[in-house]
Structure 1
Amino acid sequence: MIKVLFFAKLREQVGRSEMQLPALDSGSSVASLLDAVIAELPEAEAVLRQGNVLAAINQEMAPLSATVADGDEVAFFPPVTGG
């Protein structure tokens, strides 16, 4: 299983803070996981495909091309701004 977390505005827009998905095929990417999330939550596609969604695997920033493995925790969140 892969634990998927949604933070900040994404959590509000997706309508949940987390979900569990079955492990993907070996060598699958964060982008593939994003596709699986959208397959489960098609209403969230517009939010998750904004092009500026960031990801972290096991609390470390990761590009969408990074590999996801069974047991990983993957978080999606909007870009952080500050001032």
Structure 2
Amino acid sequence: MAKVLLFGRLSDIAGWRERTLEPLPASLSALRAQLCAEDEALAEALSAPGVQVALDQAIVRGDAALTAGSEVAFLPAMSGG
């Protein structure tokens, strides 16, 4: 089981902020593919430049394996000034 969190406009687009996925996807790329297959608008938002992924509260780049109890957060690009 993995806990998935969406922040900012990503949660607005998907209509949820927190979700538990079971069975556990094997990797971040598999998780992202699953979410994208379920929601076309979310797929577009997740592929936008600047979207970051945190695995167990640490920003990761590239792919990583998921383990039971993993927490994955998708963070929208930051803006401001």
Tell me if TM exceeds 0.5: yes
CA 65–47 in structure 1, closer or farther in 2 if over 3 Å, else same: same
**What do the CA deviations read for 1:46-71 (whole angstroms, capped 9, x no partner)?**
11222432100111111131222221
Aligned 8 A contact 2:53 2:61 in 1 = yes
2:18 aligned partner, one-letter code: E
State the Cα distance separating 1:43 from its structure 2 match. 4.1
- What is the match of residue 79 of structure 1? 77
Aligned 8 A contact 2:5 2:71 in 1 = yes
How far apart, CA to CA, are the structure 1 residues paired with 2:79 and 2:40?
Answer: 27
Structure 1 unaligned residues grouped into runs of 5+: none
From 49, 58, 61, the equivalent of 2:59 is 61
SS at match of 1:75: strand
2:21 aligned partner, one-letter code: L
- What is the match of residue 11 of structure 1? 11
SS at match of 1:66: coil
TM-score (norm 1): 0.79
How far apart, CA to CA, are the structure 2 residues paired with 1:71 and 1:51?
Answer: 28
Identity %: 32
Task: Give the CA RMSD over aligned residues.
Answer: 1.7
